[in-house]
C-alpha cells in the first residue's frame, strides 16, 4: 500500500510482516509461551469504556505535557527495544530522528544495535533521551555505563526488572541469530548461543540476582532520576516510591516475559490508589505504562486513569521497518526502493495517527 493508504499502527504492522526478514519479524512479534499476556495487552483496552461529556469547548486541544521535567508534544515516548538494526540498517538512529521530529522522548536500550554514543550524537541538542538499563552481573560495568550516560546528558535511568530470566519466545527460538552482537555483549565477551533466536543470543549477561538493595546502590552512583521498568503490582510500585525512585513503568515487557502477567492498563487504577493512599504521589512520583498501546484512545485511557505518559515498542519498530539486504534475500528491488525513501516519514506519520485519532479533551473522562 501507499503511505497515504496507511491509516493506523496495525497497517504498518501488516506491511512490516511482509517486508522484514523472518528473523526480524520473529524477534519483534514474539511473546512468551502461549502469548496470552501479549494479546491481553491490547485487548485489555477493549474493556475500558469512555464517558463522553458534550458541550465542552474543544476548539483548542493541547496534548503536550511534561515527563521527568522535559516538555514534550504528547504523552507518548518511544520505549526501549533491542536490535533496531534487524528491521532497519540504520537502527536506533532512525528512531532518534523520528522522536526529534515529533518532539517526543526516546528511551535508548542497553542492547541497542547502534552504539550508545552514536544514538546520543544523532539527537538534537534540545532533545531528551532516557537510558534503559539491563543490570550486568559485573556492577562496575553498569556503573560506568550509567555515569557515562549521565555525562552525555541522559535525563532518566530506567532499570528493567522484569527479565531476570528470559521468557520462552518460541517463534524467536525457532530462528538462528546471524547478526553482529551489540556493544554490551562485545564488552563482556559473553558467550553467544546463535541457535535459539535473537533474544537468547543477546541476554546472557543480565543478572538474575538483582534486588531492591541494588536500586539503593544505583541511587549512590547517579543523580539521574531512577525509574523501575517492569513493575506489575501495586505493592512493588509502593516499594519503588519508598526506595526513592522517581517513577515506575507498569509493563510486562510487551508480553515477552511472564505469560499470564496482567496488562499494565488493567492494574493502573489500583496502583494509583495504592500510591495515593500512602501519599507517595505528592513528591512528583510518575507512573508510566507500556504494552499494547496502538491508538490514541489507548493513550487517552491511560492518561485518564492516572499515567503521566505511555511507551510504544512494536509500533515504532514496525513503522521504520525496511528490507534489510543482509537479512532478507527474498525481497524484491521495488519494495526496497519504496521503503528506503519513506522510512522516517513513516514513523512520523504513524506516531501522529496514534494520538490524533481521538480528538477528545482529556479532562472529560473520569473513571
- Minimum distance from residue 293 beta carbon to ligand FNR (Å): 6
Active-site residue, 42 included:
no
- Minimum distance from residue 155 beta carbon to ligand FNR (Å): 17
Q: Work out the number of other CB atoms within 10 angstroms of the CB of residue 134.
A: 22
Q: 251 vs 331, which CB is nearer to ligand FNR?
A: 251
Q: 22 vs 341, which CB is nearer to ligand FNR?
A: 22
| Spatial CA neighbour of 354 closest among 90, 129, 78 | 78
- Minimum distance from residue 160 beta carbon to ligand FNR (Å): 4
Q: What is the number of the residue whose Cβ is closest to ligand FNR?
A: 313
- Minimum distance from residue 356 beta carbon to ligand FNR (Å): 18
Catalytic residue among 28, 42, 77, 162: 162
Q: Are 315 and 77 in contact (CB under 8 A)?
A: no
Active-site residue, 148 included:
no
Catalytic residue among 253, 288, 290, 298: 253
Alpha-carbon torsion angle 347, 349, 350, 351, nearest 10: 80
| Spatial CA neighbour of 356 closest among 50, 105, 7 | 7
- Minimum distance from residue 55 beta carbon to ligand FNR (Å): 35
Q: 222 vs 338, which CB is nearer to ligand FNR?
A: 222
Q: 275 vs 292, which CB is nearer to ligand FNR?
A: 292
| Spatial CA neighbour of 20 closest among 175, 182, 196 | 175
Catalytic residue among 134, 259, 288, 298: 134
> Would strands 157-160 and 309-312 be described as parallel, antiparallel, or unpaired?
unpaired
Q: Are 114 and 108 in contact (CB under 8 A)?
A: no
Residues that bind ligand FNR (CB under 6 A): 27-28, 41, 79-82, 109, 111, 132, 160, 229, 251, 253-254, 256, 290-293, 312-314
Active-site residue, 27 included:
no
The full DSSP string for 261-323 is PPPHHHHHHHHHHHHHHTTTTTT--EEEEESS--SHHHHHHHHHTT-SEEEESHHHHHHT---
Q: 303 vs 361, which CB is nearer to ligand FNR?
A: 303
Separation of alpha carbons 105 and 336, rounded Å: 29
The catalytic site residues sit at: 134, 162, 253
Amino acid at each position: 500500500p501507499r503511505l497515504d493508504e496507511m491509516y493506523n499502527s496495525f497497517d504498518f504492522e501488516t506491511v512490516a510482516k511482509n517486508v522484514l526478514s523472518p528473523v526480524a519479524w520473529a524477534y519483534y512479534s514474539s511473546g512468551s509461551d502461549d502469548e496470552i499476556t501479549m494479546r491481553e495487552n491490547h485487548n485489555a483496552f477493549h474493556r475500558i469504556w469512555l464517558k463522553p461529556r458534550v458541550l465542552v469547548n474543544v476548539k483548542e486541544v493541547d496534548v503536550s505535557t511534561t515527563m521527568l521535567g522535559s516538555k514534550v508534544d504528547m504523552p507518548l515516548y518511544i520505549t526501549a527495544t533491542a536490535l533496531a538494526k534487524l528491521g532497519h540498517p540504520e537502527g536506533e538512529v532512525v528512531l532518534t530522528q523520528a522522536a526529534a521530529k515529533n518532539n517526543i522522548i526516546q528511551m535508548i536500550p542497553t542492547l541497542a544495535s547502534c552504539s550508545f554514543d552514536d544514538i546520543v550524537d544523532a539527537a538534537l541538542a534540545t532533545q531528551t533521551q532516557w537510558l534503559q538499563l539491563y543490570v550486568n552481573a559485573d556492577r562496575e560495568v553498569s556503573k560506568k555505563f550509567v555515569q557515562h550516560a549521565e555525562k552525555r546528558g541522559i535525563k532518566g535511568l530506567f532499570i528493567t526488572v522484569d527479565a531476570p530470566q528470559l521468557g520462552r519466545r518460541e517463534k524467536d527460538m525457532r530462528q538462528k541469530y546471524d547478526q553482529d552482537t551489540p556493544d554490551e555483549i562485545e564488552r563482556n565477551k559473553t558467550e553467544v548461543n546463535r541457535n535459539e533466536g535473537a533474544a537468547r543470543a543477546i541476554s546472557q549477561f543480565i543478572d538474575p540476582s538483582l534486588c531492591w538493595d541494588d536500586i539503593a546502590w544505583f541511587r549512590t552512583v547517579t543523580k539521574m532520576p531512577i525509574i523501575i521498568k517492569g513493575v506489575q503490582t501495586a505493592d512493588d510500585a509502593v516499594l519503588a516510591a519508598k526506595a526513592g525512585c522517581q517513577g515506575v513503568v507498569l509493563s510486562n515487557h510487551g508480553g515477552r516475559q511472564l505469560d499470564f502477567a496482567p496488562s499494565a492498563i488493567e492494574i493502573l487504577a489500583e496502583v494509583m490508589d495504592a500510591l495515593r493512599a500512602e501519599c507517595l504521589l505528592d513528591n512528583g512520583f510518575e507512573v508510566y505504562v507500556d504494552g499494547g498501546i496502538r491508538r490514541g484512545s489507548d493513550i487517552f485511557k491511560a492518561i485518564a486513569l492516572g499515567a503521566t505518559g505511555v511507551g510504544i515498542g512494536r509500533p515504532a519498530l514496525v513503522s521504520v521497518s525496511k528490507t534489510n539486504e543482509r537479512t532478507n534475500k527474498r525481497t524484491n528491488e521495488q519494495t526496497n526502493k519504496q521503503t528506503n525513501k519513506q522510512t522516517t516519514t513513516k514513523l512520523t506519520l504513524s506516531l501522529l495517527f496514534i494520538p490524533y485519532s481521538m480528538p477528545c479533551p482529556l479532562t472529560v473522562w473520569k473513571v
